[in-house]
Structure 1
Amino acid sequence: MRFIIDGDGSPVKNEVIQLAQKFQLPVVIVTSVDHFTNKEYPPHVSFIYVDKGADRADYRIVKEIQREDWVITQDYGLASLVLGKQARVFHHSGKEYTAANIDELLTQRFMGAQLRKAGKRTKGPKPFTLQDREHFTEVMTENLKEAKANN
């Protein structure tokens, strides 16, 4: 089991890295070369850099994913592809994408795009707060404990 992070826009990289260290799991961060870093990371963290371009990181994540992996992304399209490979997928809010909710989320995304295309304004995401980070960590900790107990 690994964490794979859709790294270009994830606000919870540090939280995932800390959780992974606590539960002794590797982390793979897939991100564009635009976000290359020389920052030192713990040994359980690795990076996969992809070329610039729409969906390049998503395609690489789909290629890399294994059934027992957990993916962190806010991209509904990527989530639907990962679910097809039977991995678990989580939003940075802590909400898990599932076969039961992904169709509704994709429909909402489509409807928002149609509204924007028609010149309507739609709300963007709220700023990510410390409270949001704490909630994510709590939810993921519970999921990890449950997964460990079931293995």
Structure 2
Amino acid sequence: MTTILVDADACPVREEIYRVAARLDLPLVLVTNGARPVRPPPLPKARLVIVSEGADKADDWIADNATPQDVCITADILLAARCLEKGARVITHKGHEFTPQNIGTAVAGRELARHLREMGTGGGGPAPMAQADRSRFLSTLDRVLQAALRA
């Protein structure tokens, strides 16, 4: 069965995910290291997984539990790559879908940005969420979930 796995610590679209999970009656797992408060939604198929604090513990849990039927929601490019290796579908909170065809470029771009930041010439980070991002996210989430359910 398709499950929605959410890298929940910094996810700005949790409410949107809750609505879609409820509408489609899908299991939903929010994974957090507890650094930020995350309350599980009042949905019968939702659960909150709190992992131990530490770098990448939530990522490890998601990557270890992802299956080819699942849809993972994360902005973490390295976690996206790990989920794709397991056959899961992956989208960001701004509605960008990572695929086996584009993840290599994303990982390379991440490394380049890290290098530029270390040299002191990097940018100021991602742009804040806009309403257009939320709309794109919902559209992409619906499309990707429908594809996962058909598979």
Asked if TM exceeds 0.5, the reply is yes
Say whether residues 1:59 and 2:60 are aligned partners: yes
Tell me the secondary structure at the aligned position of residue 128 of structure 2: coil
Q: Are 2:71 and 2:89, in contact at CA under 8 Å, matched by a contact in 1?
A: yes
Q: CA deviation at 1:34?
A: 2.1
Q: Can you give the 5+ residue segments of structure 2 that lack an aligned partner in the other structure?
A: none
| 1:131 aligned residue | 132
Contact kept in structure 1, 2:5 and 2:28, CA below 8 Å: yes
Aligned-pair CA distance for 1:52: 1.4
Unaligned runs of 5+ in 1: none
Does the C-alpha gap of structure 1 residues 39 and 59 become closer, same or farther in structure 2, counting only changes over 3 Å?
closer
**Superposed CA offset, 1:4-35 (max 9, x none):** 00011111111111111111101000001223
* Kept in 2: contact 1:4–1:29 (CA 8 A): yes
Do the aligned residues in 2 keep the contact of 1:12 with 1:92 (CA within 8 Å)? Answer: yes
1:107 matched residue in structure 2 = 108
TM-score, structure 1 normalization: 0.90
SS of residue paired to 2:90: strand
CA contact (8 A) 1:36 1:49 kept: no
TM-score by length of 2: 0.90
CA RMSD of aligned residues (A): 1.7
- Consecutive aligned runs of 4 or more in structure 1 exceeding 6 Å deviation: none
Match of 1:26 in 2: 27
Is 1:119 equivalent to 2:114 in the alignment? no
- Structure 1 distance, partners of 2:99, 2:40, is 34
**Given residue 47 of structure 1, which amino acid in structure 2 is its aligned partner?**
L
Structure 1 vs Structure 2: percent identity of aligned residues?
Answer: 32
